[in-house]
Structure 1
């Protein structure tokens, strides 16, 4: 069992290890448990048995739950059940469900206690830590939300045993990203045969990847500075998700986006880190992208949350663990997009 501390104004702990769902407990009463419809019944039953929630709310799977319509429906269910301000919301499931649950907790009665038990690798490494909550709009991902840190995070590694291999590999993208931007020791471990459900490297690698994000959000909860570095690869990734209507899962989009960002980094004078991002793409084996043009993606890139009045900023790397923010000239964006597509054709020939 590993424990990672997240500091700041509202500190909390992230526990990592097997069997945590059987030991869930919150001091607030009553509680509401929110989980996606595709979550294995065994994990829901374990959480219900340990929490004894007043209300259990089932929401659509994956990003289908991250809409204003679902958000409003969940709020109505909590109100109809009479959940008081002294109660708590517990999010159980992947990153989409925990993002929704956190936004519900932040909004209901102007804020109630929030706890989260992520059940996917992506949810554990990324969504569950840092207090970012929210839903999507047709115009882009995560455009509505709030910073609302949880009071505890429980990463039960036993839940990862039921994940399809492709879903586990998808989630590894965020752990690999943490290696590129902060802890290079993660890079080889993430693509090791022992980084797998039940594998010898799983718990420590997962905890060390979480520790990277925990350190960043402790220093910069509301993304005024270095927290933006956690978005390495995400500018293109979010555009890919939007233009394909979420047909490309987040972790696979991030893998594609990291390779593009590595190309941009090198084009602007940084170290050539594309061997690392190529190696991860080979290991992850993401689904193929449909035919895409830069012009089709450009409107979504322009809406990126790192944009300001002067334009879009990308997270780039001078070298491993040396991230920075920069505006990239349009001609460089287009040229490297063409090179990125050529790289993908070489990596994944028809």
Structure 2
């Protein structure tokens, strides 16, 4: 038995023809990253990470890569959403060019969603495309942002408005890394897990209601939640890689959530992405109930579960407050899903029954925001 076979890992395949790849889920994947990346045929691996993750995990990863005979370069950026900027992207790309990273090499994104988006975008545009391996170290990144190839940076006009689709060659979701997460970050990632139940898997949402304590404590339930989430996303991505149809469902809660993030200027001290998604999902269900689409009890049930794990559910919960309905609506008009100036919402007919709504009356949306912020 080889070192790579010594521990069983969950394996989820993202089926995209010649761009297909595996998501591996389980313990000690960072410690075996060298052998797994060497198997891709790379000679140099450029690790892009942030200062916080570097202190926790970079030595183990660098040692594993060097033990596999790989040349290692490292690029470290400040932590937080503000690193998803043109300035930081320029620094990363210039550092990769200075390190002479070639097309046959690999950029390794070691960190949470910010690093995955930033490093993945840098890999997409470097020499018109260099391979990327995602090593997500946060729950949010493991179940969402590391899978599917969406990369990018933010603009003052909105979140993730500049980017590219660039599928990774491999995703290494090391569950051991989650033990180092602050509780707030783990809770924020859990919001994205809940999302998969709310989209089209009511049974999964029911299991989360019963099992969230074990998921937060660690153990088999945590790995099961991650694997279930990854399988759900892999299935959606395989059917709609470039978000022309059903993949938009993965943005449940994000139209409202991204607007809230933009309103606080992506200040993670006030609101982090998963918290915005939690508020956004609760708002989407309340809006659906107001429109007569979803039962009010389902909206209340969603809110109860999010609150039970310590996630915010109302825009008024954002520290320092947010602007008025007009300000939020203006941010929503910059959403990536806007078509011909019309907002696209992800709404629901109930738990596990989400759908893409392209014909929502803007006046109804504004009136809803006025009630939410009143």
Q: TM-score, normalised by structure 1?
A: 0.93
Question: Which residue of the partner structure matches residue 285 of structure 2?
Answer: 262
1:107 aligns with 2:125: yes
What RMSD, in angstroms, separates the aligned Cα atoms of the two structures? 1.6
After superposition, what is the alpha-carbon deviation per residue over 1:79-130, rounded to whole angstroms, capped at 9, x for unaligned?
Answer: 1111112111010000000111100110000001110100000010111000
Question: Which residue of the partner structure matches residue 247 of structure 2?
Answer: 227
Corresponding residue SS for 1:5 = strand
- Out of 37, 62, 65, the position equivalent to 2:51 is 37
8 A contact 2:264–2:322 mirrored in 1: no
- Rounded to whole Å, the distance in 1 between the matches of 2:98 and 2:225 is 42
1:19 aligns with 2:28: yes
1:206 aligns with 2:215: no
Question: Which residue of the partner structure matches residue 302 of structure 2?
Answer: 277
- Rounded to whole Å, the distance in 1 between the matches of 2:198 and 2:348 is 8
After superposition, what is the alpha-carbon deviation per residue over 1:262-282, rounded to whole angstroms, capped at 9, x for unaligned?
Answer: 122223332222123211331
Residue 341 of structure 1: CA displacement? 4.4
- Out of 135, 138, 150, the position equivalent to 2:168 is 150
Task: Give the stretch that moved more between structures: 198-207 or 107-116.
Answer: 198-207
- Rounded to whole Å, the distance in 2 between the matches of 1:284 and 1:252 is 11
8 A contact 1:106–1:112 mirrored in 2: yes
- Out of 138, 155, 169, the position equivalent to 1:120 is 138
Any stretches of 5+ residues in structure 2 without a counterpart? 1-8
- Rounded to whole Å, the distance in 2 between the matches of 1:196 and 1:286 is 13
Residue 338 of structure 1: CA displacement? 4.1
- Rounded to whole Å, the distance in 1 between the matches of 2:339 and 2:208 is 34
Residue 334 of structure 1: CA displacement? 2.9
Question: Which residue of the partner structure matches residue 216 of structure 2?
Answer: 196
Question: Which residue of the partner structure matches residue 337 of structure 2?
Answer: 306
Point out 4+ residue stretches in structure 1 off by more than 6 angstroms.
Answer: none
Residue 236 of structure 1: CA displacement? 0.7
- Rounded to whole Å, the distance in 1 between the matches of 2:281 and 2:48 is 32
Matches within 5 A, 1:168-187: 168-187=186-205
1:340 aligns with 2:360: no
Task: Give the stretch that moved more between structures: 290-299 or 250-259.
Answer: 290-299
Residue 310 of structure 1: CA displacement? 4.6
- Rounded to whole Å, the distance in 1 between the matches of 2:159 and 2:322 is 21
Residue 40 of structure 1: CA displacement? 5.3
Compared CA separation, residues 102 and 197, structure 1 to 2 (3 A): farther
- Out of 11, 22, 30, the position equivalent to 1:3 is 11
